[in-house]
Structure 1
Amino acid sequence: MWDDSLWDGYSLTQENDTDTDIKPDEDDSKSAEVFSRRVPPNASDPKSADSLIASQMAKLSVADREKVYMDVHAIPDDCVVETPELIQKSLRVLQHEIDILPDKKAYNIAERLSPKYTQDREFRLAFLRCEKFECQKAALRFVRHFQVKLDLFGQDMLTKDITQDDLDVDDMECLYLSNGRFLNAHDKAGRRINMIVMVQKTYRTVTVLRKGFYTLMTAYRDLEIQRRGFVTISIQFGDEINGTSADNADLVWKLPKLNEAVPLCLSATHLCYTKEAWDGMHAMIKTAFSKANQVRCRVHCGPILKCLEELRRHGIDPSYIPVNHKGEITDLAKDRKRIEQQRRQERLKYPTHSTIALPFCEDVLLGKGTPFQIHHGNKKLQQFVTDRFKKYERAQKKGEKKAVAQEIMDVVRGNGGLFLKQDGNKWAPVTDDVALMKVGALFRYLRLKNGTK
């Protein structure tokens, strides 16, 4: 049953309700636009943000308040029972709701480019699950998804799954910081935990948004996340905002809005920080959230261990959060391997790209000089050649040596690697013949090195 603790300190006095200039966006329920919505004049004012949220809470029914309380405190909720009848009916109604939406430019482009992609049954079901099969809400989220994707990646990527090979160098550097990702951990309601840690590094707004979109759209493939949603823990510890992405008001306003355009339900957000210097940023975050997410946002201020301990009463074990008492991430090496494994799986699942901004560690780079020789993929290729040198030398019949070289190429590609050459400021896969020549040249070099004929 809902009780007064739901309000968590929010004031509903008449004074607070009238002081704010922040007004809910009345077009939220209609527009496919996400990033272009105006920033309220008092978006970074903590008092105004809290008053806005209190106003939103006051409009909720008792049942809705109780649902918010359950979500914020990780009290398990029953998932929708997905009968064949419900799924069939919901998919039909979803299409109707999409059809009657007035603002769906990006969706219409995607529909023309690839109806197979936009009408994929499992893809659409993810949006329905996110909105608990409320078809009108799912339809709006669906068309917003394509609008955001068009804004961030352009028309060519509108009907393709985003992979690491689609990201540019800055995007990949931001991804490998590991400061924003889903942990292999759940709260007491069975929801995955999404961790965001502020670091002393700044990136362009589009870089962080592209990285965030990729992270969310990779996580959505988990069926349990679709059904149960996820919870975000945002951690900012330090005295200064300068030198961090929090100093970018455009990014602070836009990043929370990604949650309105992906097939994942954000069940709760916990903002953890130490200093009042972060108050303005958190006010803007809370204001930028949709109405549903605003009332599910909670703030924890104080020393890091105190903030993390407070998460216990929200169903989150603080030992799951990989940060130390200084707010530093403690599992960077482990998470880097996770990201690499993710890229390996993408390489094996999706068609090879014509160009790549940043090579994979398993790639073989064609070129001369130390940077090429010390690249991980090149060193592994050298070891493959060394291990098969005797077999290569024993091969006498026509095609046998080529078969040994082909075997090595298959091993490289089985690990997700490609043979790449520089193409301007990018990298391009070479043909099989060129790759075979590279492997053959390494065998000949090893022969000369060993002094064999």
Structure 2
Amino acid sequence: MWDDSLWDDYSLNLEKEDVSDTDITPNEDEDESKSAEVFSRPVPHDASDPESADSLIASQMAKLSVADREKVYMDVHGIPDDFVVETPELIHNSLLGLQREINILPDKKAYSIAEQLDPAYTQDRDFRLAFLRCEKFDCHKAALRLVRHFQMKLDLFGQDMLTRDITQDDLNMDDMDCLYSSSGRFLNAYDKAGRVINMMVQVPKTYKTNTVLRKGFYNFMTTYRRDVDIQRRGFVGVLLHPGDEIKGSSADNADLVWKLPKLNEGVPIFLSAIHLCYTTDAWEGMHAMVKTALSKPNQVRCRVHTGTILECFEELRGHGIDPSCIPINGKGEITDHSEHSQILEQQRRQERLLYPTRSTIAVPFCEDVLLGKGTPFQIHLGNKKLRQFVADRFKKYERAQKGEKKAVAYEIIDAVRGNGGLFLKQDGNRWAPATDDVALLKVGALFRYLRLKNGTK
């Protein structure tokens, strides 16, 4: 169990310790980039060449020791592996070591900006522990992953979002469409080793690179908070391309194919293994680029499966993944769109209750009440629910004394907000939360409408 006194010591040491002359030497692999920026790394000219990709992986495998090769074999076959035992002393020393390593990293512009904006956010103990767990408490690797995290966040969401957890209210319309498409997400399912499964599947739509990257970043950051064991065990990726047409699909974007694997280098969940499944040779070039884009430690954890969907699934079974937990049928179609949407809606409902209300929102929630006139406003689900709330309390409202009617109206406003809803008014092409006074006017207008409709005074 964590000893709070150790955290106090850690905080004091951060203030007192001078690390400018530290003699700690990074233990990063010679051939691994030290840059915080990963999305801008150049694409090799032969990135989509299958033979070149396989040669690259063979080269990385040849560099491994016998013990490391055995570890890779266990990872790709879903054989459970013991994770680090977290003692109070290990946590304490690792947090100190992490800060030292951050201080000596030369490229940490985005992290430094975040540190100035909100040091409590960047130094949050649980947040930092997730990065340490991700790298098996290797302080240098955890520091590099952490500064890459903030660089990615700056690239994808801008400076204003650097020290805020990303929610669905922070995503734009295209991001939300991609998120709810079900094409790429973490399942509520685990392999034999207890690692959460990340499913990525081709859908008949082309998305912009940053749209998919923002969606992916959101999914990673939401998933790492689900369970500490996810931080300790990592995840296994399953990339499915069941069709034979790349053009016009979600994979018809070479820039995205190159950059998407880079997300794994700046989030607090590590990739234990990735399985690339495809039914025709049309996908060979794209999968070669995926393998080339992976970080060197992850390249050797990549396996390719070819054949029909069912044949690929049987091969996955041999790697510790139960095909019944993957919501794809024999035709390669996603089978749980509705269930997935419900999960995302519940997730958004919880976010609304946990995080501060955003000043503007691009995509209204199904629980929101839209203020305005016309059919689009009236048919919105949140408006329908509001009318039902008003109808359910109409008699109570009519019986209430003049001074008590406002309390009844507030009951309705609280009911909307209790479900994660907001009263929204249009603000250009976005939506802004309305004040309580405006919400009261809306509820009062509905009560007056019911009174006229019922012929009461």
- How do 1:194-273 residues align onto structure 2 when only pairs under 5 Å count? 194-221=198-225, 222-273=227-278
Identical-pair percentage: 80
- Gaps of at least 5 residues in structure 1 are 1-24
Using the size of structure 1 for normalisation, the TM-score is 0.94
Deviation string, structure 1 residues 287-328 (Cα, Å, up to 9, x no partner): 000011100010111100100111111000110100111110
C-alpha deviation, 1:348, in angstroms? 0.2
Counterpart-to-counterpart distance in 2, 1:176 and 1:361: 13
Q: 1:238, 1:274 within 8 Å by CA — same for their partners in 2?
A: yes
In structure 2, the residue matched to 1:372 is: 377
Counterpart-to-counterpart distance in 2, 1:388 and 1:335: 33
Q: Which of 253, 278, 286 does residue 281 from structure 1 map onto?
A: 286
Seen in structure 2, the aligned counterparts of structure 1 residues 367 and 27 have a Cα distance that, compared at 3 Å, is: farther
Counterpart-to-counterpart distance in 1, 2:394 and 2:95: 58
Counterpart-to-counterpart distance in 1, 2:146 and 2:115: 12
Indicate whether 1:71 and 2:59 are aligned: no
Counterpart-to-counterpart distance in 2, 1:278 and 1:96: 44
The residue identity in structure 1 corresponding to 2:149 is: H
- Gaps of at least 5 residues in structure 2 are 1-28
Counterpart-to-counterpart distance in 2, 1:386 and 1:103: 59
The residue identity in structure 1 corresponding to 2:320 is: G
Deviation string, structure 1 residues 89-112 (Cα, Å, up to 9, x no partner): 000001001101111111111111
What secondary structure sits across from 1:300 in the alignment?
A: strand
What secondary structure sits across from 2:318 in the alignment?
A: helix
In structure 2, the residue matched to 1:452 is: 456
In structure 2, the residue matched to 1:304 is: 309
Q: Which of 88, 91, 94 does residue 95 from structure 2 map onto?
A: 91
Indicate whether 1:393 and 2:398 are aligned: yes
Q: Which of 154, 157, 162 does residue 158 from structure 2 map onto?
A: 154
Deviation string, structure 1 residues 209-262 (Cα, Å, up to 9, x no partner): 000000000001121110110101011111110001312110000000000000
Aligned residues: 428
In structure 1, the residue matched to 2:347 is: 342
Deviation string, structure 1 residues 172-209 (Cα, Å, up to 9, x no partner): 00000011111111111011111111100011101000
Using the size of structure 2 for normalisation, the TM-score is 0.93
Counterpart-to-counterpart distance in 2, 1:171 and 1:157: 16
Deviation string, structure 1 residues 70-107 (Cα, Å, up to 9, x no partner): 10001101110000000000000010011011111111
Deviation string, structure 1 residues 417-444 (Cα, Å, up to 9, x no partner): 0000111000001100000000000000
Seen in structure 2, the aligned counterparts of structure 1 residues 26 and 204 have a Cα distance that, compared at 3 Å, is: farther
Counterpart-to-counterpart distance in 2, 1:168 and 1:412: 23
What secondary structure sits across from 1:357 in the alignment?
A: coil
Indicate whether 1:143 and 2:147 are aligned: yes
Deviation string, structure 1 residues 369-427 (Cα, Å, up to 9, x no partner): 1111110000000000001000000002x421100100000000000000001110000
Q: 1:182, 1:192 within 8 Å by CA — same for their partners in 2?
A: yes
In structure 1, the residue matched to 2:433 is: 429
The residue identity in structure 1 corresponding to 2:305 is: H
C-alpha deviation, 1:27, in angstroms? 6.0
Deviates further, 27-36 or 149-158: 27-36
Deviation string, structure 1 residues 37-95 (Cα, Å, up to 9, x no partner): 11111000000000000000000001110110010001101110000000000000010
C-alpha deviation, 1:332, in angstroms? 0.6
Counterpart-to-counterpart distance in 2, 1:78 and 1:203: 39
Counterpart-to-counterpart distance in 2, 1:248 and 1:28: 26
Counterpart-to-counterpart distance in 2, 1:171 and 1:27: 34
What secondary structure sits across from 2:203 in the alignment?
A: coil
The residue identity in structure 2 corresponding to 1:400 is: E
In structure 2, the residue matched to 1:293 is: 298
C-alpha deviation, 1:26, in angstroms? 6.1
In structure 2, the residue matched to 1:441 is: 445
Q: Which of 180, 186, 190 does residue 184 from structure 2 map onto?
A: 180
Q: 1:245, 1:251 within 8 Å by CA — same for their partners in 2?
A: no
What secondary structure sits across from 1:81 in the alignment?
A: coil
In structure 2, the residue matched to 1:13 is: none
In structure 2, the residue matched to 1:130 is: 134
Deviation string, structure 1 residues 139-196 (Cα, Å, up to 9, x no partner): 1000000000000001000111000000000000000001111111111101111111
Counterpart-to-counterpart distance in 2, 1:223 and 1:263: 11
What secondary structure sits across from 1:246 in the alignment?
A: coil
The residue identity in structure 1 corresponding to 2:321 is: I
What secondary structure sits across from 2:291 in the alignment?
A: helix
Q: Please tell me the root mean square deviation across aligned C-alpha atoms, in Å.
A: 0.9
Counterpart-to-counterpart distance in 2, 1:436 and 1:93: 54
Counterpart-to-counterpart distance in 2, 1:27 and 1:373: 59
C-alpha deviation, 1:265, in angstroms? 0.9
In structure 2, the residue matched to 1:331 is: 336
